Amino acid sequence: MTFQEKLNILIDDMAKPPDSLGLLEKQARQVFTAWGCFDKKFNPKHIIFGADNGIVRAGVVSQIADITYMQCRHMEEGTSAVTCFCQVNAVPWEVVDVGIDSADAVGIDRKIARGTKNFMIEPAMTETELKKAFSIGQERVMAAKAAGYNFLSFGEMGIGNTTTSAAVLTAIAPRHSTFLTGYGSAKGNFKLLLHKRRIIRDALHRYAPYIHSAADALRYVGGFDLAALCGAMMACAEAHIPFYIDGFITAVALACAIQLQPPVQSYALPSHLSREPGMCAALHLCGIDEYDVPIHADMCLGEGTGAVLGVVLLRSMLYAVWHMSTLSGITREAEHHQKYGTVQDTPIVVNQSEMNGLINPERTTMDETLRKQAVTIFENMGLTEEEAVTLFYKRTIAAGRMPFGPAEPKKEHPKKKRMNERMAEWDAF
């Protein structure tokens, strides 16, 4: 039986109508496939890359650039939106400074420079800086893997990064269109929107002879946070770590990562649908339909807020995979109830290797004739041999004794009248 066949049995045998958990089932399948095993441990971590963008000096934002530094400080302290989400849901996080315009670093110091350059005047970064941003993203993923995390979510912080993301997306899209540029944090400021579109149009016209790939787009009109995200996503594919993207900016980073390294697509999960106009276009470049996105909440905050909420949904789904009743189990219980008029105890799934470790072979040698007699009794009770052994473990442990422990002194107990035939047959055995 192949891994995919086993995975289909695991998901399809959950006690529910087929596909009734919709996108949660789809994403659970993708996570198990990315891992390549049925890992019951779900250890997520949220990584935020922070950087400033030189294009703000061209007047494309309404806020002051210092907000990047201050907000990253709040993230580090746990008082931003995304870190509040992380804390209440027990999701660890880290802030990585890849280019905040400050003398001191915020969080993990990986500062490449104090922000990128103004791409209206010169390329946003050098080839060396681009490679350094890629390597920082890769390093943080490998550090997370070494620490035991098997799932990541990504966020970012940087005033002006909606403009850099729109510029990169327009550069790598099949047709360059300024409609991919949205308001960003300046909702309703139509004058500023038109200015941003002119800035992007003029810059892409100037750099058109030099942009031939997603890496070129990141270098000429991108940002350090975008490049680090792209590098991190490519590293996830190499490390077999599935991850959530957040909104528009991380979707653009994913589109770049997939163009540079197509296998990344198999490890990326969408979390929420940003209201930025370029979001759907970025998702389509990643091979993701907007109807494959589980959260539609009209969000556009960034930081990875939607990604962390996605982690909460996924954690709930994976818990259900391992703890939910099964269709086959319910069917057996129903058949037993129909035949005997009693409710069958829900069988406990016992890991075979753990069971083998508990049982001492020298003390459990059973004559084959006796075994056949036992199997006959089990069948009369409507149980398979495995279910009977599981039931034995359940009742022994419930009574406060470990299986095959030291013999206890016999105690006189008044005999109680049995409630049903099945209990009597079990005691007789």
Listed as own residue / partner, the contacts of 64-68 with beta carbons closer than 8 Å and 24 or more positions apart are: 64/159, 65/101, 65/115, 65/159, 65/160, 67/159, 68/100, 68/101, 68/157, 68/158, 68/159
Please list, residue by residue across 394-408, b when 16 or more beta carbons sit within 10 angstroms of its beta carbon and e when fewer do: eeeeeeeeeeeeeee
Q: Half-sphere exposure of residue 83, counting CA atoms within 13 Å on the CB side?
A: 17
Tell me whether residue 25 is one of the annotated catalytic residues. no
Instruction: Say which of 156, 303, 379, 385 is annotated catalytic.
Output: 303
What is the spatial distance between Cα 182 and Cα 249, in angstroms, rounded to a whole number? 12
Q: Which of 143, 147, 91 is nearest to 308 (CA)?
A: 91
DSSP letter, residue 154? E
Which residues does 136 contact at the CB level (< 8 Å), separation at least 6? 96, 98, 110, 112, 228, 231
Across 138-205, where does the E strand assignment appear? Answer: 151-157
Contact at 8 Å (CB) between 288 and 67?
Answer: no
Contact at 8 Å (CB) between 95 and 51?
Answer: no
Torsion of the alpha carbons at 343, 348, 349 and 353, rounded to the nearest 10: -140
Residues marked active site are found at 303
